[in-house]
Amino acid sequence: MNNPDTPLPSAEPPPALFQPAPALARVIEIGEVAAGIAVPEDRGVRFFSASRDFDGLDGMLFRNPEQAARAARDLTRPGARKAPRPIAV
């Protein structure tokens, strides 16, 4: 006989107690200009430019979004080089 207090077996496994949130891409803005986005990867974030002014950073890998934003800000400074050095990861 079936006991009415016994739960029925579920086809789905129970949910994990803790699941880290997936890392999200972040928009990098310099003032009111969208410089690009920083997309998480295994070893950091990859920068994709949204404006020709920041194409020198396009595809570069940074440790974190803040480092990518700093590199974008550096490009907007007077006398800045248009082709920045890669930042070590």
Helix (H) or strand (E) holding 73: helix 65-76
pTM above 0.75, yes or no: no
**78/24 Cα distance (integer angstroms):** 32
The per-residue b/e assignment along 14-29, b for 16 or more CB within 10 angstroms, e otherwise, is eeeeeeeeeeeebebe
Q: Tens of pLDDT along 38-84?
A: 999 999 999 999 999 999 999 999 999 999 999 999 998 887 665 55
What are residue 25's phi and psi, to 5 degrees?
-70, 145
pLDDT score at 78: 82
